[in-house]
Amino acid sequence: MTEVRVRFAPSPTGPLHVGGVRTALYNYLFARKNRGTFILRIEDTDQTRYVPGAEEYIFESLKWLGLNFDEGPGKGGEFEPYRQSERKLLYRQYADKMLKDGNAYLAFDSPKELEAKRLEYEQQGKVFKYDCQTRLLMKNSISLTEQETVNLIKEGHPYVIRIKIPDNREIRFNDIIRGEVVFNSHELDDKVLLKADGLPTYHLANVTDDYLMKISHVIRGEEWLPSAPLHVLLYEFLGWQNVRPAFAHLPLIMKPNGKGKLSKRDGDAGGFPVFLLEWTDPFSGEMYSGYRESGYLPDAVINILAFLGWNPGTEKELFSLDELVNEFSLERVGKSGSRFDPEKAKWYNHQFIQNTDNQYFVGLLRELFADKALIYSDKELEKIVSLVKDRLYFINDLSINTQYFFNAPDSYDENFRLKKWKENTDSVLADLAHFLSTIDSFSSEDLHLSIKDFIDEKQWNMGDVMNPLRFCLVGSQSGIHLFELLAVLGKEESIGRIRKVIHKA
């Protein structure tokens, strides 16, 4: 294999959808597996669609996942600059070469004229396409005489440069994922290559930059498959067909019900993110949730995305990034769309949380509860983590599942009190509080034995004691094993919480 050079080439037109992030991941894995180069290129030639903050969002997203690029904006490289808007002067020469060779032409049609032609076709029940069938009906350097064309240029008439798609020609190429792909040129239109403002369109800039940056493999989403034959022709017309990169078009990520491509609207409506990081639209103010802010770990997100189209051929489901690099191959990427499963995503995060070192959560607890966490040593905080860890599906669950270790309840589940509180419950709790004050050992094991013996001696029902006790300590019926909770809270805090409830009653 020749030197592997791949690129992730997003447009800064909004937040990164999980489909785009998966494309970045697969490019990264393929580059690292083959000891190649992973390039970030910002494709921002369409300044009308530029969204403030989107480029920074791309950088932060890749950094959060640990997908470090080798060349790109801010990093430099042999083929810089890596923003297409900073490369705009170099594309004209390639459009001019195609003009000279007869593979492109000047088109002078105004937007108003183009719209009129579309309406004309629409009224006839047809769809207008600027191609070999219609170009002679339009205002361009093919339908006009040479003198008419020269005059229009001298008069300063705006024009674009369009590719001249050949008539009735089969365009074939091999796709690593899909095998041989065949298009007929009748399916294509004469795309604009250079706009009236002198800026290239996506197609010309994309192919030119892939050539100049020596890209060996183009790994991108299935939505770009219809553009591939156009790009094949551009490589041919520019004389680069012998160095054309290999193509690999990734399957779509589908909605959870499998009906249609996953969209930004599906996420928050279904209670799961479709963007990597939280995003607020700078124009509408609309906010979209992100995996990071929703409490997902980067490693979990990497695994969620890796399995949306690829499988290792084994039963193994959890991989580190390095393990994915070793196992990944484009040949194991499927053709069919992959259904996004929010519950499976949640499962992945839960698994990675269980496998994360407890010290990570100790640090989070110290951040979450600041001064109040100082009452515990690192060893005691690690004990708290070990008690609640299996309840955590998201990082954000840590605060909910540990807050009662640091703060006595300031509100209580009054429904429980109304339904379960008996006439003697206060006196039972008072007796229990007194009994706890007499106990020397406050380990969970000793508490279990001594409290059980005390309840048996009093001939009380276990539930009539333990449920109200949990209510006093937590404020509800949720939480970890009660004797473990008593042991962590300690004698003084536990008794204080019981007596607080009795006093309130």
The catalytic residue positions are 264
Nearest C-alpha neighbor of 486 from the set 461, 459, 454: 454
Nearest C-alpha neighbor of 408 from the set 503, 332, 316, 274: 503
Half-sphere exposure of 139 (CA within 13 A, CB side): 18
DSSP letter for 290, please. Answer: B
On whether the CB atoms of residues 340 and 275 are closer than 8 A, the answer is no
Whole-angstrom CA distances from 304 to 14, 18, 177, 389 are: 22, 10, 20, 21
Burial status of residue 41 (CB atoms within 10 A of its CB: 0-12, 13-18, 19 or more): buried
From CA 502, how far away is CA 505, in angstroms rounded? 5
Whole-angstrom CA distances from 187 to 168, 170, 238, 335 are: 9, 10, 21, 22
Amino acid at 326: N
DSSP letter for 160, please. Answer: E
Burial status of residue 285 (CB atoms within 10 A of its CB: 0-12, 13-18, 19 or more): exposed
Neighbours of 55 (CB within 10 A): 18
On whether the CB atoms of residues 180 and 174 are closer than 8 A, the answer is yes
